[in-house]
Each structure stands twice: as C-alpha cells, then as structure tokens.
A = this chain, B = another copy of it.
Amino acid sequence: MKISHQMSSMKGSPIRKIVAMIERAKTNEKLISFAGGAPSLAPPREMMDELNKAFAANAYKATSYTSTRGMPALISDLCEDIKKTEGLHYSEDQLMITEGSTEGLFATFYGIFDKGDEVIIFDPTYVGYSEPLELLGAKVVRVKTPMSAGFQPDHEELKNAVTKKTQAILIVSPDNPTGRILSEESTHLLSDLAKDAGLWIINDRAYNDIYFEEPGPVPTAKYAYDNTISSYTFSKSASSPGIRIGYLAGPKEIISAAIKVKQYLSLCSNSWGQIAARAFLKIKEQYIRDVVIPAYRKRRDVMIDSLRTYLPDAKFMKPQGAMYVFPDFSTYIDDRDEELVQEDLLESKNVAVVPGKFFGENGAGHFRLTYVAETEEKIVEGTQRMAEYFNEFKSEHLPADALKPGDTSPFC
C-alpha cells in the first residue's frame, strides 16, 4: 500500500534527531542536559484547582466538546489580557484557541500558502518552521541574522529577499535558539516592509513573557496590526506544555481560515486545558514576575558566568529572553564536525547540548544551551565538564609542531 510522496520524501528532521537524542540520554543518571526545550518549573496549583471546581460543578459540561474557536469565556479573557498587557484591541472573532503554538502556526501556514509561495525566516532560528512549510509546498527563504549583528536582521538584506512570490515573514521574539529579542528598530522596519509589500507577519510569541529587561519584545501588531498574525502559547508562560493550549490573534479573515483548518486537525482544543488556562490568566502577571523570571534570570546569569569562567573562548550574546544561550564554540570545536563533538561530549562527559547548525547555516559552530532545565549547581558542573572535555581533547590532539622536546604525545 502507498505512503504519500510528501511523506516518503520528507527528509529526516533535525528536531527528531534532537528529541531522540534527549530521550536516549534521559535514562542516564549522571546526565546534565542543556538540550531540552521545555520549561522547568511546576505549573501553578490554581490551574488544577479551577479544573477540579469545574468538574465538581458539572463533570459533563467540563468534559464536553468546545466550539472549534474555543471556550467563549477564555476567548473573552484573552482579549482583555492582550488589551491590558499590550494595549492592543482584538475582538472575539479575531481570536481562536489552538494546540499550543504548533497548531496555530500550522493552521496559519495552511491558511496563507499555496504551492510555490515564498516565506522569509531568519537564520538561525527555530528548527520547527521549515518542514511544515515545505510540506505545504511553500518555499523557505532564509535571511541571515548572525551573532555579529546581535542576531538582528539587516534591513537591506530583508528587503532584497522579498520577491513577487513572498507572502509572509515569520519571526519569533524572544528567539529560539539565540535568546534575541527583535529590537524596536528592527520591529518597526519589518512592519513597514510588510505594510509596503502587502505581506503577512507571522509572529510566533512562544516566549513572549520570558524576558529579562523592560520593555521586552514589541509586538509587530503595534506597527502593522492588519498584517500581523500572532501565535501565543501557555506552554512556557504557565510552565504547562502538557495542557497543549495556545491561541492565535489577528485579522478576522485569517482567523476564520485557521478555524476552518482546525476543524479537521483537532476539531477543538481540550476543555480541561482551556478551563485551567482561564485560571492561569488570573495569576499570570504575578506568577511570571515572582516565580518564572527570577528563577530563569538567576540560571541565565549562572550559565553565562560559568561560560566566562570555564570556557573563556566561547563567544556569546547575553540572552535577552527565552530559555537558551547560543555561544559560538568554533575555537573549541576547531574543524571537527559539531554533531560528532556533541555525541562525543554526551558519551564521555554526560552533557547534552544541541548543535547550532540544526538552526540554520548561521548557527554553525554554535551550541544551543538550555539554562532553565538544571539547577544552578548543575549548570556550573555541566560547563566545567564541557571545559574538561575540550581541554582533554586539545591535549590529546596537540599539533605535531606544538610538541616540545621532552613532551609525550599520545601519538608518539
């Protein structure tokens, strides 16, 4: 029997390699993982309390289908929340609930792209965009955002990447893997470009609430309201990726299209998660401010201090948001294949990292290090182990001309 050509020709995804790698490594007790992409705090107790209340009041109703758009009360609360936190006004027919940010993006892609349409993404950026886009027949055009530019796009390059076939620019800010927040200037220029060329801005806001200095990420909807589709999720903000609840906000026509698609993707999002999400919104501000940011900021600072201390030749940008630092390890990796280095590091030192090249050409030589998943002690220990690994490798592979009389090379 037949498997569709689109599936059988689908190339192996880096994200699957990463997940498989982490799964294998998890069973190792000595493991220090800088590789995951999950938040590391417990979800607020209030979320489960509210679900229990709803279930006790009416188990049938609490466990029913919701409409495809989502629970009206949650949609209404989200309109309020966006107004309060971002000063942006969305009516209830401009919002819908999704399965995390993933489904919001897929439904948006389906709603915008036909075969041959072009979409601009940054390089490096999240590995999960290009495959579904290509699966839908869209052509991914990459604009480089190297560390030397603070991972910000060059405006001329961005402009030059737009062709007659371009339908959208896809951004994520704070960014995975770089921790970069798109500058106010970049946001402004990008918004103008979208308005001038009649393009959609698909704004993945998965890490929207995770930033370390005010004012945080600026929504493109501030400058290009009619062009922007924002994809949010509770996964990171509420430390609850397991509830699979996100939401899309944007112009009515794109939300209507995305709702049509969602009917066939999932019919509706789960009611328990939607009930819990409502409870979260009531305590969101305080939870983010008092629990999430202090914990993640402290771990970020320990991570960068450790890098400076134990791996002084790693160049990095101090992360402005999200949960990752993306240092350039070229000096340490030298001309070795970074995937081999990663495997070697995992095997010999029980430290898991993600090779930067998975995130695009401009990620080559970098590693993505998640700093939220381990305690401060483990972060220090993990960086030390990495340093040990590189030092041992260096001393075992000293170039021949570095050998002085009397030195004993392992190759002698």
> Which A residues fall within an 8 A CB radius of B?
1-8, 10, 13, 15-16, 19, 23, 38, 40-43, 45, 48, 51-52, 55, 59-60, 62-68, 99-100, 102-103, 106, 110-114, 117, 128, 131-132, 135, 167-168, 198-200, 226-227, 235, 239-244, 251, 253-254, 257, 260-261, 263-273
Q: How far is the CA of A110 from the CA of B102 in the complex (A)?
A: 17
| Contact sample, A vs B, 16 pairs, CB 8 Å cutoff | A1-B227, A2-B112, A2-B117, A3-B112, A4-B114, A7-B111, A16-B260, A38-B65, A43-B60, A63-B243, A102-B263, A103-B266, A131-B263, A244-B269, A272-B272, A272-B273
**B167 close to A261 (CB less than 8 A):** no
CA distance A260 to B131 in the complex (A): 10
Q: Is the CB of A38 within 8 A of B15?
A: no
A59 to B51, CA, bound (A): 14
**Closest approach, in angstroms, between the C-beta of A259 and any C-beta of chain B?**
9
Q: Which 7 pairs, one residue from A and one from B, show the smallest C-beta to C-beta distance?
A: A242-B271, A132-B264, A99-B266, A63-B242, A244-B270, A7-B257, A102-B267
Q: Are B52 and A260 in contact (CB under 8 A)?
A: no
The answer for the CA separation of A7 and B117 in the assembled complex, in Å, is 14
B48, B63, B235, B263: which contacts A16 (Cβ < 8 A)?
A: B263
* Residue of B7, B52, B241 touching A48 (CB-CB under 8 A): B52
Partner of A270 from the list B23, B38, B111, B272 (CB cut-off 8 Å) is B272
| A241: B residues at CB distance < 8 A | 63-65
**Which of A3, A113, A273 has the most chain B CB atoms inside 10 A of its CB?**
A3
Copies held by the complex: 2
Report the bound CA distance from A223 to B23 in whole Å.
36
CA distance A41 to B38 in the complex (A): 36
**A43 contacts B63, CB within 8 Å?**
yes
Distance, CA A270 to CA B251, complexed state (A):
28
Contacts of A62 in B (CB 8 A): 242
A128 to B241, CA, bound (A): 29
Q: Among B59, B111, B199, B239, which residue has its beta carbon within 8 angstroms of that of A43?
A: B59
Once bound together, how far apart are the Cα atoms of A242 and B59, in whole Å? 10
Instruction: Indicate whether A240 sits within 8 Å of B63 (C-beta atoms), given known contacts A7-B257, A267-B100.
Output: yes
For A100, list chain B residues within 8 Å (CB): 266-267
Besides the known contacts A4-B117, A243-B271, A272-B272, 6 further A-B residue pairs in the complex with CB atoms under 8 A apart: A1-B200, A3-B254, A4-B257, A16-B260, A64-B242, A242-B270
User: Bound state CA distance, A52 and B56, in angstroms?
Assistant: 13
- For A42, what are the chain B residues with a Cβ–Cβ distance below 8 Å? 59-60, 63
User: Do B254 and A270 touch (CB < 8 A)?
Assistant: no
Inter-chain CA distance A266–B260, complex, in Å, is: 16
Give chain B nearest CB distance to A201 CB in angstroms.
Answer: 9
Complex CA distance for A267 and B270, rounded to whole angstroms: 14
Asked whether A265 and B59 contact (CB < 8 A) given A4-B111, A272-B270, the answer is: no
**Alpha-carbon gap, A198 to B1, bound state (A):** 5
Residues of B within 8 A of A227 (CB): 1
Nearest chain B CB to A373 CB, angstrom units: 11
* A227 and chain B: residue at smallest CB distance: B1
